[in-house]
Structure 1
Amino acid sequence: MIKKALLAGCILWAVVAQGQELDCTVAVNATQIQTNDRTIFPDMKKAIEQFMNTRKWTNDTYKNYERIACNILITITKMNSPTSFAASVQVQSARPVYNSNYSSLVFNFADRDWEFEYVESQPLEYNDNTFTNNLTSMLAVYAYLIIGIDYDTFSEMGGTPFFQQARQAVNNAQQSNRPGWDAMGSNRNRYWIVENLNNPQMNDLRKAVYAYHRLALDIFDKDPDKSREIILKGLKDIKKVRDVNPTAVLLTSFFDAKGKELVNIFSSGNLPVRREAYDVIQTLDPSSTRADYAKIIQN
């Protein structure tokens, strides 16, 4: 059985107007910053939460229980002025599994290239068609990615229009000349995660994400062996993606989210299936620090 796991840090946020898509919890860690006036940090947290949770990101109507659980941990690494900041950020989102109390982590991404301005008590503004400022552009990208990935888990390739919105936000923000918005430098920045999700070469991975969640996890309680076989097939399809682009950041992000869960899924059941899954996972994600994959073939 899959062990119950809740998305760390995500708690219920105050009820907002019905229809909003995100239930986002924000944490701002400014322990590295030396300043006498620290009121800006709780104000920043509140403003970002309000921006993510009260803005309407799609044309769909969500009931409160349908909103997407996510969190954003912002670690301020530098304060260049009272209104200018640099930060590293972890973004996570989770998706409930049908007929269970289990929430599956579906997106787990570290963005170390945040540079932005924030003025205390000043409203955050964003326009899909033009660049307004770096902070709201970065937040918009992750809002669209979180929503798109959630849609991909419920319908095959369902997140496409939201990934296209994220790409538009990236394109608009390139005029800022800030890090993370183009192909230069690290291949693990926000430019590349958006590029991967819009790249047809990644379609096998996106389709595998749908099968993993909708066709496997959602029936796991009824037929765990069938679910494992579906997930194994999806892993083989993901290997096709790796064969084409072994350094794709989307592969890394997938296993950042799914490594521990895969151990739980394949730590019981049919041994030949587990051994085959172990071999494929070791090829796709040879890291020994992400998850204890050896548990898959024990017993």
Structure 2
Amino acid sequence: MKRTTLLFLFWLAAFRLSAQELNFTVLINSDRSRFQNTDIFSQMKTNFEQFLNGRSWTDDEFRPEERIKGNLLITINDVPQVGIYSATVQVQVVRPVYGTNYESLLFNFADRSWNFEYIESQPLEFNRFSFLNNISSLLAFYAYISLGIDYDSFSNRGGNPYFEIANEIVNNAQQSGRPGWVQNPNDRRSRYWLINDIFVSPVYSPIRDAYYLYHRQGMDLIQIDEEKAYSNILEAIRLVAQANKLQPNGIFTISFMDAKGDEISQVLKNAPFEIRDEAVKLLLEVDPNNAKKYNELLRS
């Protein structure tokens, strides 16, 4: 009887593990801070990874190989006093491409305004309905953003439930008055503007459609139907350009191009000239700073 119970508990633990959705690596660079106690950053890394990877964020079941891979790159800029940290965060999420070993960069975003308090052995608690602290709110926010972007890439606007929760987190965190959570027209690279552009503002909704077209109907089809795949990737670029024309230089547009710019310039090298020609014209409108990279497509 005892053996049966133990076997059941092991099975249940394995099932719960398979239900976890994220597989994130946290990297912490504290060189700029010149803070001597580096042990705290090792503990911080472990604690943050456990928070992201050790819980279930959705009701869906994920096999271990299906977990969403990503990186959280934290740069500690200053430690003004013990337990107080000023940092920047870069969030990267990747997605496998069907039928290949290639992983496509889905999301690449630099968050420049994160101040938080952390003490040794601090438990990280999270409540989606209230703001508890500036660590769990930020980590949960990017967990749901990552889920939303990933789900959008597999089904058209499939990330709605997760973007809705990310928006709730921002609304709850505004009471804290902390940078990044509040509406600041002088800081467009913030959590507030990111979720506003992704989920609240209808202006940028074509970019969400572009995620699905580009990945599920584009990258995933290249091995099966190259012509259709290139056509859908071009249509995705058209949608991004459409949003950019309505509201230039939105953070969601910039985030899309930061993630996809290099990949587009490689993937379209083998596309028909008319596809490349139109793509370059659109890309130069959306991302003129990388004109040299895109113009190379016309010389392929």
Q: With structure 1 as the length reference, what TM-score do the two structures score?
A: 0.92
Cα displacement (A) at 1:237: 1.7
- Structure scoring higher RCO (CA < 8 A, sep ≥ 6) equals 1
Q: Aligned ranges for residues 65-214 of structure 1 at < 5 Å?
A: 65-184=65-184, 185-198=186-199, 199-214=201-216
Residue 70 (structure 1) shift: 0.5
Question: Residue 267 of structure 1 aligns to a residue in which SS?
Answer: helix
Structure (1/2) with the larger helix percentage: 2
- Tell me if structure 2 keeps the 8 A contact 1:157–1:207: yes
User: What is the CA distance between 1:16 and its match in structure 2?
Assistant: 8.2
Give the Cα–Cα distance (whole angstroms) in 2 for the partners of residues 216 and 205 of structure 1: 14
The alpha carbon displacement at 1:45 in A equals: 0.5
In the alignment, what sits opposite 2:252?
250
Distance 1:35 1:269, change over 3 A: closer
Residue 32 of structure 1 aligns with an amino acid whose one-letter code is R
Deviates more, 1:222-231 or 1:149-158: 222-231
* Equivalent residue letter for 1:242: N
The residue aligned with 1:20 is 20
The corresponding residue for 1:9 is none
* 3-state DSSP of counterpart to 1:186: coil
Distance apart, 1:211 and its partner CA: 0.8
Contact persistence 2:26–2:71 (CA under 8 A): yes
Contact 2:29 2:75 in 1 (8 A): yes
Whole-angstrom CA distance in 1 between matches of 2:109 and 2:97: 21
What is the one-letter code of the residue matched to 1:38? Answer: T
Write the deviation string for residues 25-61 of structure 1: whole angstroms up to 9, x where unpaired.
Answer: 0001001122332210100001000000012111111
Whole-Å separation in 1 of the counterparts to 2:62 and 2:36 = 42
Conserved in 1, the CA contact under 8 Å of 2:112 and 2:189? no
Alpha-carbon contact 1:166-1:194 (below 8 Å) kept: yes
**Mapped partners of 1:36, 1:249: distance in 2:** 36
Question: Cα offset for 1:236?
Answer: 1.2
1:83-136: per-residue Cα shift (whole Å, max 9, x none)?
110001100000101111011000000000010011111111111111100111
Runs of 4+ in 1 over 6 A off after TM superposition: none
- Structure 1: how far apart are the matches of 2:18 and 2:229? 34
Question: What are the within-5 Å matches in structure 2 for residues 279-298 of structure 1?
Answer: 279-288=281-290, 292-298=293-299
Q: Partners in 2 of 1:228 and 1:284 — Cα distance?
A: 19
Secondary structure of 1:287's match? helix
Is this contact kept in 2: 1:16–1:53, CA < 8 A?
Answer: no
Mapped to 2, the partners of 1:172 and 1:154 lie a distance apart of 29
Give the match for residue 232 of structure 1: 234
Range 144-153 or range 116-125, more displaced: 116-125
CA deviation vs aligned residue, 1:142-197 (integer Å, no higher than 9, x gap)? 00000000000000000011001000000111111110111213111111111111
Q: Contact 1:268–1:296 at 8 Å: present in 2 too?
A: no
What is the number of equivalent residue pairs in this alignment?
Answer: 284
Counterparts of 1:20-59 in structure 2 under 5 Å? 20-59=20-59
Q: Distance in 2 between matches of 1:220 and 1:159?
A: 24
The residue aligned with 2:5 is none
Q: Is the 8 A contact 1:20 1:56 kept in 2?
A: yes
Cα distance in 2 between the residues matched to 1:245 and 1:105: 24
Identify the residue that residue 7 of structure 1 maps to in structure 2. Answer: none
Unaligned runs of 5+ in 2: 1-14
Q: Which amino acid aligns with 1:234?
A: A
Aligned with 2:18: secondary structure?
Answer: coil
Q: Residues of 2 paired with 1:50 and 1:275: CA distance?
A: 46
Give the percent of matched residue pairs that are identical in Structure 1 and Structure 2: 42
Aligned partners of 1:171 and 1:221: how far apart in 2? Answer: 43
Q: Decide which structure has the larger Cα Rg and report it.
A: 2
- CA-CA distance at 1:23 after TM superposition: 0.3
Query: Which secondary structure does the structure 2 equivalent of 1:215 belong to?
Result: coil
